[in-house]
């Protein structure tokens, strides 16, 4: 016949094992949540860096357009303006540009690029149409400044969060 003390000890050990299992389950859940939070933070940082790099490449495209214009290479300028327009349209859909202020700014920039692009296309099609280089360079400089300012605002806004 079994001693009732051994049965009680066995039951007590079972409850202790169950309690340890529950504690380990909660610890595992906390670790999994911390890993998920870390992954999301890393993903956001990578996305931020890609976004800032893409905006910087837009600024580089503007510099190329300005250099081509100074060399009177309007065909090359037009190609870069089209590249810039495409890149900005893509950027408009990335997280970080989803505030109303940014949407309005980018719509303004895209509209200005549209006018510049049309002027270049008309000038290349018909030789008697001249491009107002001074005004175009001024608009491009203002667009570049807006993008530079946005980079600064975004860097500091994201780092504060």
pLDDT digits (tens, 9 = 90+) for 58-88: 999 999 999 999 998 989 999 999 999 999 8
pLDDT band at 97 (very low <50, low <70, confident <90, very high): low
* Maximal C-alpha separation, the chain: 114
Spatial contact of 52 and 154, defined as CB atoms under 8 Å apart: yes
Average pLDDT over residues 85-107: 75
Average pLDDT over residues 14-19: 90
The per-residue pLDDT for 155 is: 74
The CATH code of the domain at 38-160 is: 1.20.120
CA distance 18 to 84: 62
Tokens 């911390």: give the residue. 34
Spatial contact of 18 and 10, defined as CB atoms under 8 Å apart: no
Spatial contact of 83 and 57, defined as CB atoms under 8 Å apart: no
pLDDT beyond 70 at 47: yes
pTM, full prediction: 0.71
List the one residue out of 75, 77, 82, 54 whose CA is nearest residue 67. 77
The per-residue pLDDT for 152 is: 83
Per cent of the chain over pLDDT 70 is 91
What number of other Cβ atoms are within 10 A of residue 47's Cβ?
14
């Amino acid at each position: 016949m079994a001693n009732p003390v051994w049965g009680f000890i066995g039951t007590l050990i079972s409850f202790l094992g169950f309690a340890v299992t529950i504690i380990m389950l909660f610890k595992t859940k906390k670790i999994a949540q911390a890993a998920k939070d870390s992954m999301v933070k890393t993903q956001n940082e990578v996305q931020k860096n890609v976004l800032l790099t893409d905006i910087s490449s837009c600024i580089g495209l503007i510099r190329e357009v300005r250099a081509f214009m100074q060399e009177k290479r309007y065909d090359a300028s037009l190609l870069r303006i089209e590249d810039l327009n495409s890149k900005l349209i893509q950027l408009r859909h990335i997280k970080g540009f989803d505030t109303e202020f940014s949407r309005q700014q980018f719509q303004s920039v895209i509209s200005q690029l549209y006018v510049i692009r049309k002027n270049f296309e008309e000038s290349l099609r018909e030789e008697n149409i001249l491009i107002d280089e001074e005004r175009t360079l001024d608009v491009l400089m203002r667009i570049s400044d807006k993008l530079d300012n946005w980079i600064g605002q975004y860097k500091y806004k994201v780092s504060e969060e």
